[in-house]
C-alpha cells in the first residue's frame, strides 16, 4: 500500500495441527538463545535444505551512535558467527483458521497467545495440538484501516502475576493495557480480566499505527509506534508517534532513557512493527519505508533514524542509516525474531521470510547479504517468533482484507532454520 487504500501520498503501511517445536532454555526475549545453538549453525552446510535464496541490499550504518545509557552489552568474542547462507524447513502447521492474526506471544508452558486485529480477541493455541481456545475480547478496541488489536506480550513475571499486555487502537488513540489471564476460569471466552491501561495518548491514524510490543532482556517493555500518516510526528520528541518507546511494566519512564521523564527511546521512525534482541542484548527494529526503502535498524538510545528527511540509506549527518534495506515490493516488513545468529523478518507485500546473518560486531553488520525464503508460498507474513533453539513460529496474514486467503488461512507454521 503506497497511499491510503493505494492512493494518496505517505500512506504505505502494513498493507502492501502440527507438533510442538523442540524447546531450549531461554529468557523473556530471543536474545537469550544459547551460544551453543549459534556454534551449531556456523558449522552447517549453507545449502542443505535451503528454500529460496534471493539476495537483498545491505547498508552499514554511518552515523555514530548517540551517547546514552541502554541495555546493550559488549559483543562476545567467543560466539561464532552464523554461516553466510542459511536454510528454512517448514516442519508443520501448528494451527489454522485464524482471523486477521497480528500479535503472537508464548506462555511459560509453551502454549501461544495470538491476537486478532479485526475481531479484537485473544486466542490461546495449545503448543502441542494446535487446539484453539478463545480467551476473550479486549474492551475498547476500534478496528479500522491498520488499527485494531495489534501486538501482545507476556509479563516476565507471568508465573506469579498472570499478566498479558496488549497494544490496541481505540476511537481516540493507541494505547497499551494489561489484563490478567484466569486460566482456571469456567466461562468460555471470558478468561481475561478488565484491562488496566498503562500508557495512552499514542497517536492513531487510518495507517501507520505501529503496534509491536515486547519485553527486553532488561525486563522493560518496548513498543514500536507509527507516524499515523503525519510525518511531522516522527521528529517531534514530545510526540509518542514515530518512535520506539521504553517503559517499566507499569508504563512509566525510567532511568537510562534518553530523557528521564519520557518513554521515548529512539525517534525519526515511520512505522515500526518489529522488535527483537540478539545474543548481545542489542535491540533491532524493522520499519516500513514509503515508496523506496524498507529498513532493518540497529537501535541505540536517543538515536534519530531520519524520517521524514531520510528513507533508507542517506548518509545525512545526524541520522542513523539502516543496517539493511529492501525495495518496498520485496519486503513491507512486520515482525522480526532472532535465532541461530540471524534476524528473521516477516514480509507482508514481499510475501517472504528474510534472513539477515549478524556478525555481532557493531561496525560489521550484517555479516552477509540478506537471504529470502518461502517467497509467495504462504502469502503475506505478519509475525515471526523464536520458539527455542533452531525453530521459529511464523504467522501468515491473508485474512485482514489485504491478502488473498487460501483454504486453512490464516495459520501458524513451525519452521526449522539455520
Question: 363 falls in which pLDDT band (50, 70, 90)?
Answer: confident
Note the pLDDT of residue 119. 98
Note the pLDDT of residue 254. 92
Task: Answer whether residue 228 shows pLDDT above 70.
Answer: yes
Percent of the chain with pLDDT over 70: 81
Task: Answer whether residue 91 shows pLDDT above 60.
Answer: yes
Question: 78 falls in which pLDDT band (50, 70, 90)?
Answer: low
Task: Answer whether residue 407 shows pLDDT above 60.
Answer: yes
Task: Answer whether residue 16 shows pLDDT above 90.
Answer: no
Note the pLDDT of residue 80. 83
Edge-to-edge, what's the strand order for the sheet holding 342-347? 333-339, 342-347, 353-357, 371-373
pLDDT digits (tens, 9 = 90+) for 370-394: 999 999 999 999 999 999 999 999 9
Query: In terms of pLDDT, which residue wins out, 124 or 77?
Result: 124
Question: 316 falls in which pLDDT band (50, 70, 90)?
Answer: very high
CA 147 to chain centre: 16
Note the pLDDT of residue 70. 52
Task: Answer whether residue 1 shows pLDDT above 50.
Answer: no
Note the pLDDT of residue 2. 34
> Which whole number is the average pLDDT over 121-128?
98
Lowest mean pLDDT among 42-56, 204-218, 287-301: 42-56
Q: Which of 392, 396, 310 is nearest to 347 (CA)?
A: 396
Task: Answer whether residue 171 shows pLDDT above 60.
Answer: yes
Task: Answer whether residue 55 shows pLDDT above 60.
Answer: no
State the burial class of residue 48 (Cβ atoms within 10 Å of its Cβ: 0-12, 13-18, 19+): exposed
Task: Answer whether residue 30 shows pLDDT above 70.
Answer: no
Note the pLDDT of residue 52. 40
Rounded-to-integer distance, Cα 358 and Cα 316, Å: 24
The residues spanned by each domain of the chain are: 30-417
What CATH code is assigned to 30-417?
A: 2.120.10.30
Note the pLDDT of residue 71. 55
> Which whole number is the average pLDDT over 130-156?
98
Note the pLDDT of residue 136. 97
Rounded-to-integer distance, Cα 185 and Cα 169, Å: 27
Amino acid at each position: 500500500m503506497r497511499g491510503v487504500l493505494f492512493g494518496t501520498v505517505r500512506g504505505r503501511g502494513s498493507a502492501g495441527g502440527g507438533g510442538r517445536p523442540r524447546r531450549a532454555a531461554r529468557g523473556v526475549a530471543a536474545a537469550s538463545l544459547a551460544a551453543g545453538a549459534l556454534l551449531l549453525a556456523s558449522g552447517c552446510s549453507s545449502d542443505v535444505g535451503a528454500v529460496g535464496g534471493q539476495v537483498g541490499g545491505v547498508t552499514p550504518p554511518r552515523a555514530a551512535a548517540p551517547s546514552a545509557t541502554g541495555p546493550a552489552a559488549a559483543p562476545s568474542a567467543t560466539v561464532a558467527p552464523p554461516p553466510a547462507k542459511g536454510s528454512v524447513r517448514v516442519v508443520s502447521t501448528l494451527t489454522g483458521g485464524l482471523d486477521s492474526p497480528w500479535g503472537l506471544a508464548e506462555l511459560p508452558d509453551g502454549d501461544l497467545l495470538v491476537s486478532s486485529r479485526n475481531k479484537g480477541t485473544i486466542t490461546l493455541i495449545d503448543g502441542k495440538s494446535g487446539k484453539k481456545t478463545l480467551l476473550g475480547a479486549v474492551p475498547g478496541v476500534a478496528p479500522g484501516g491498520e488499527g485494531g488489536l495489534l501486538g501482545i506480550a507476556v509479563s516476565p513475571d507471568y508465573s506469579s502475576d498472570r499478566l498479558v499486555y496488549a497494544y490496541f487502537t481505540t476511537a481516540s488513540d493507541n494505547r497499551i493495557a494489561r489484563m490478567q489471564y484466569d486460566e482456571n476460569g469456567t466461562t468460555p471466552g471470558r478468561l481475561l480480566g478488565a484491562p488496566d491501561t498503562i500508557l495512552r495518548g499514542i497517536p492513531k491514524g487510518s495507517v501507520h499505527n505501529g503496534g509491536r510490543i515486547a519485553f527486553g532482556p532488561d525486563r522493560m517493555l518496548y513498543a514500536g509506534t507509527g507516524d499515523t500518516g503525519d510525518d511531522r510526528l516522527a521528529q517531534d520528541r514530545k510526540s509518542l508517534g514515530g518512535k520506539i518507546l521504553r517503559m517499566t511494566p507499569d508504563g512509566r519512564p525510567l532511568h537510562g532513557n534518553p530523557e528521564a521523564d519520557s518513554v521515548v527511546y529512539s525517534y525519526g521512525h515511520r512505522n515500526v512493527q518489529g522488535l527483537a534482541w540478539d545474543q548481545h542484548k542489542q535491540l533491532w527494529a524493522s520499519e516500513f519505508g514509503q515508496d523506496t526503502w524498507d529498513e532493518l535498524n540497529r537501535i541505540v538510545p536517543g538515536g534519530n533514524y531520519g524520517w521524514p528527511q531520510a528513507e533508507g540509506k542517506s548518509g545525512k549527518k545526524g541520522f542513523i542509516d539502516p543496517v539493511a534495506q529492501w525495495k518496498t515490493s520485496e519486503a513491507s516488513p512486520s515482525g522480526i525474531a532472532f535465532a541461530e545468529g540471524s534476524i528473521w523478518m516477516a514480509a507482508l507485500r514481499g510475501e517472504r521470510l528474510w534472513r539477515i546473518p549478524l556478525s555481532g560486531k557493531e561496525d560489521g553488520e550484517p555479516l552477509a547479504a540478506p537471504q529470502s525464503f518461502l517467497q509467495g508460498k504462504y502469502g503475506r507474513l505478519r509475525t515471526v517468533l523464536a520458539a527455542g533453539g533452531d525453530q521459529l513460529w511464523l504467522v501468515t496474514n491473508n485474512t485482514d482484507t489485504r491478502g488473498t486467503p487460501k483454504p486453512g488461512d490464516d495459520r501458524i507454521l513451525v519452521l526449522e532454520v539455520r
